[in-house]
């Protein structure tokens, strides 16, 4: 298995590049599992893959929630900073 190189950019503003990449990969995995499930004719395997899809969707939701939290926090901090800057003029 190839080692995946993930480097944090440390310069994110309003988002996180690493979490966005994780979201992209998880979404790709869901599509893969759904395609496999469509081709599978074994009920127990299809059910197992369906469970995997559901687990991945939960992960995707958690990633989206965290990205939203980061965005809101960043916007709040930007608002605080701009309120101080506008008071200086």
Tokens linked to 34: 């759904």
Tokens linked to 57: 């969707």
pLDDT in tens, the chain (89 residues): 456 666 776 666 667 888 999 999 999 999 999 999 999 999 999 999 999 999 999 999 999 999 999 888 877 766 666 777 765 55
Extents of the domains making up the chain: 17-80
Give the Cα separation of 48 and 42 in Å (integer): 10
Query: What is the DSSP secondary structure assignment for residue 3, as one 8-state letter?
Result: P
Q: What is the pLDDT of residue 17?
A: 87
Given the structure tokens 């990449």, which residue do they identify? 21
């Amino acid at each position: 298995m190839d080692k995946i190189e993930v480097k944090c950019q440390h310069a994110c503003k309003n988002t996180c590049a690493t979490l966005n990449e994780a979201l992209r990969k998880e979404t790709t995995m869901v599509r893969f599992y759904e395609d496999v499930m469509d081709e599978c004719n074994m009920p127990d395997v299809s059910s197992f893959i369906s469970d995997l899809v559901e687990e991945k969707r939960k992960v995707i939701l958690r990633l989206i929630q965290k990205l939203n939290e980061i965005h809101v926090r960043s916007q709040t901090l930007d608002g605080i900073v701009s309120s101080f800057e506008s008071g200086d003029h």
